[in-house]
Amino acid sequence: MGAVWRNQGSNMRISKDEQQAIKTVVSLGEKFGYGNLICHLQTAWAAQLVKEYGFTEEVAMRGESGYPIKMHEDLMNNGEWDETGKRYI
C-alpha cells in the first residue's frame, strides 16, 4: 500500500502503515547496512519495471547503483552469488 496523505492544517499526515514501513526500513538499514539495503531496493524496483512494464534492465537500472537483477535474485533465492560475475553479464 502506498502512502496516504491527509492535510491537517499545515501538516501532511501519512497512514500508520506507511509510518510503520518507514520504521521497518530504518530498522533493517541499521541491522544490515544502508548501502546493501538501498542497492537491493533499487534492484527490486528495476526488476519490477522489467517484469511489469517491459523496460530493459539497462533502462530500468539507469542512474541507479543497484546490483544486476540476476545477482540480486541469486542472493535473495540462493543466499550466494557468482563471484566471477560471468553469470550477470
Residue whose cell numbers read 550477470: 88
Cβ–Cβ < 8 Å for 41, 58? no
> What is the identity of the amino acid at 80?
E
Query: What is the Cα–Cα distance from 65 to 72, expressed in whole angstroms?
Result: 12
User: What kind and span of H or E run contains 11?
Assistant: strand 11-13
User: What integer pLDDT is reported at residue 85 of this predicted model?
Assistant: 85
User: What integer pLDDT is reported at residue 8 of this predicted model?
Assistant: 57
Break the chain into its structural domains and give their ranges.
1-32, 33-89
Query: If the chain, 89 residues long, is cut into consecutive pieces of 10 residues, what is the mean pLDDT of each piece?
Result: 58 85 93 91 92 93 82 89 86
pTM (2 d.p.):
0.68
Query: What is the Cα–Cα distance from 4 to 31, expressed in whole angstroms?
Result: 27
